[in-house]
Amino acid sequence: MRKFSHKLSVKTASVLVSILSLVLIISFILGMSIASQSNSNSPESITTAFIENYLGSSDELYNECNTILQHHLNDTLNVYNNSSDNLYTISLFDRVIASTYNGEGDYLAYSTTISSFSNVSGRYIYDFNVTVYYPSNSFFNLELVNRLSNLYYTLFISLIIFSIIFVASLAILLNGAGHRDDSKTITLRTIDKLPFDIHTIALALIAILQFSLYFNNFQSDTYRFFNCCSFFLIDYLLILNYLVSFTNLLKAKELIKRCIIYPIILGIGRFIKKFIMIIAKVISQLPFVWKTVLALITWSLIELFIIHNTQNNLNNFILYWSISKAVIIPFVIAVSLMLRKIQKSGKKIADGEIEYRLDTKHMFGDFKEFGETLNGISEGMGRAVEDKLKSERFKTELITNVSHDIKTPLTSIINYVDLIKKEKPENESVKQYVDVLDRQSSRLKKLIEDLIEASKASTGNLKVTLVPCDLNVLLTQIIGEYEDSMRARALELVVDCPDHATMISADSRHLWRVIDNLINNIRKYAMEGTRVYITLTADETKAYIIFKNISKSPLNITSDELMERFTRGDSSRNTEGSGLGLSIAKSLTEIQNGIFSLDIDGDLFKATLTFDLLK
């Protein structure tokens, strides 16, 4: 259903009603103004004012009364008529104290008499009479003033009623502005499509021109009155049209866009935004130290400016000082909190908590960027560890599966070789072939076992039972098993162990394998005719087992490379050895909470096992 205010007839009626209401409102205001002046400057008011001012002062001199009354009457005559034809007579106690009327001429008398007046005690004070004489041609003006004075409250109520009618008519007109009977959208008029700021300037210029024409012409009062009325009607229609245009553009959401200054302001805004972005980008590219220096210089200049402008005013200086501290103290606290969070995050990541994430929600600037970098490092480390674990699991599974698949046929080969050996072949070549098969199959079996053990040790899948172990006893037993083989290689064992027991917490089976691997490695690769040093020492908290020998082949790799799987000190050799012994020894030492380290100095090979002493 179409809205009532959208109809053209309703809009037209609203315009006419608003014009009529405004004319009546102005008329009522003028009438009330004239009536107000009549009440405040009539002879009654003058008389009353005089009596009130001198109540209880019956001894005042006539001269003083005369002066005051002359003053009041001059004001009264000036209000009622600007001409000098107004005459008056003032009597006090039947005595004329002031008079300009000589009894001649055609005048209308308007008098007020207070025959008696008493103060609080009832004492007689004044007998006071004021008479004002108006020319007979002023009767119409006088009657008009009197009637308006009697209609004052009626004019006031009418003013309120027609003000409401005026506001309602404007509301109906503006509510229907932009709407047509057959359209739900806002329809702009031709004049609405003009730039709104030009429309505003044109309206202001018309108003200035009208004021200039009104105050600078020297025509009669009647001509001025008609000019004023015509200007009033034109101005109201222009203002009404301006309000309708404003409402239409506001409803269509095009008020700003319909201004010439809009693209100018938009361009200036874009320029300022781009300029700020360039400055921000330049500052963001600066190192953090230079940003700090720039911030300190800027803040120092601001403080210098404040000191210069408040050096003679202590109150202003205290105010600016308080504001500056209210800004800088929270900023410093925020920076300190961010640095503390970053420090805490870095420590957690360094301690191995790679899943820890720093909350950068309330950070800003380089601190936020650094926090996100720490999170990136943590995520990268997490991915690297996860990838490494996946790789290790894959290698372990692969080695286990392949070793199992190889071990089954290898067992059959070993069994058949053993059966052939039991047949005692007479052919020497066959015997030699069988010996090679036996030796190489045994070596392959040992390699597979070492490979499986190395995989289990590196992934922590070996069962470890830590119990108190005496290194003196364990080391003596293992060395005793290798004395003959060492002597066969012309290697002299030099063992140095303390007389007292050296107790540690370890798995004796795995620790035996570690020491066995090291001594066996020395037996294979030490230079013949040299000494092998095995030393057991201890301090207050640690126990150390040190193995030293001279390699028969140049050690042209680092200690880290030597401990990798399938790595041998002499890469050109093809003798026995899988390259897994040291790797297995290292893994077995670590799962017992020990430390395995290698040192290579030329041909000198040194291995050290470190364990915590058992208290």
Closest CA to 570 of 517, 523, 525: 525
Residue 444: predicted pLDDT: 79
> Structural domains in the chain?
20-153 (no CATH), 385-460 (1.10.287), 462-612 (3.30.565.10)
d(CA 390, CA 537): 40
Long-range contacts of residues 78-82, Cβ cutoff 8 Å, at least 24 apart:
79/37, 79/41, 80/41, 80/132, 80/134, 80/138, 80/141, 80/142, 80/145, 81/134, 81/135, 81/138, 81/141
β-pairing verdict for 492-496 and 531-538: parallel
Residue 60: predicted pLDDT: 45
Let me know: does 134 contact 80? Beta carbons within 8 Å: yes
Let me know: does 592 contact 609? Beta carbons within 8 Å: no
Tokens standing for 494? 């030099």
Tokens standing for 440? 């190489």
DSSP class of residue 567 equals -
Q: What single letter denotes the amino acid at residue 538? A: A
d(CA 146, CA 150): 6
Residue 358: predicted pLDDT: 78
Element (H, E) at 374: helix 365-423
Positions in the chain short of pLDDT 50: 1, 39-62, 64, 68, 72-73, 75-84, 114-126, 138-140, 218, 566-575
CA dihedral of residues 290, 293, 299, 304 (deg, nearest 10) = -130
d(CA 377, CA 383): 10
pTM for this entry: 0.40
Interhelix angle for 8-41 vs 221-251, to 10°?
A: 140
Tens digit of each residue's pLDDT (9 = 90 or more) over 420-475: 888 877 788 888 888 888 888 887 777 777 677 666 666 666 778 899 999 998 89
Residue 140: predicted pLDDT: 44
Residue 116: predicted pLDDT: 44
Q: What single letter denotes the amino acid at residue 410? A: L
d(CA 291, CA 295): 6
Radius of gyration of the chain (CA): 59
3-state secondary structure of 57: coil
Let me know: does 136 contact 108? Beta carbons within 8 Å: yes
**Exposure of 580 by Cβ count < 10 A (0-12 exposed, 13-18 middle, 19+ buried)?**
buried
The dihedral through the CA atoms of 506, 512, 518, 522 has a sign that is positive
β-pairing verdict for 604-612 and 95-99: unpaired
Residue 545: predicted pLDDT: 93
Name residue, tokens 């058992």. Answer: 614
d(CA 518, CA 585): 8
Residue 531: predicted pLDDT: 93
HSE toward the beta carbon, residue 318, CA cutoff 13 A: 3
Closest CA to 534 of 480, 574, 588, 580: 480
DSSP structure string for 94-128: TEEEEE---S-S-EEEEEEEE---B-TT--B---E
Tokens standing for 560? 């880290």
Q: In what order do the strands lie in the sheet with 128-135?
A: 95-99, 87-92, 128-135, 107-114
Cα 553 to Cα 368, 546, 568, distances in angstroms: 56, 21, 11
Interhelix angle for 365-423 vs 428-459, to 10°?
A: 150
Residue 164: predicted pLDDT: 92
Tokens standing for 509? 């089976």
**Exposure of 592 by Cβ count < 10 A (0-12 exposed, 13-18 middle, 19+ buried)?**
buried
Name residue, tokens 């044109």. Answer: 202
Contacts of 135 (CB under 8 A, 6+ apart): 81, 83, 85, 86, 105, 106, 107, 108
Contacts of 213 (CB under 8 A, 6+ apart): 227
d(CA 271, CA 284): 20
d(CA 35, CA 27): 12
d(CA 584, CA 456): 9
Residue 55: predicted pLDDT: 37
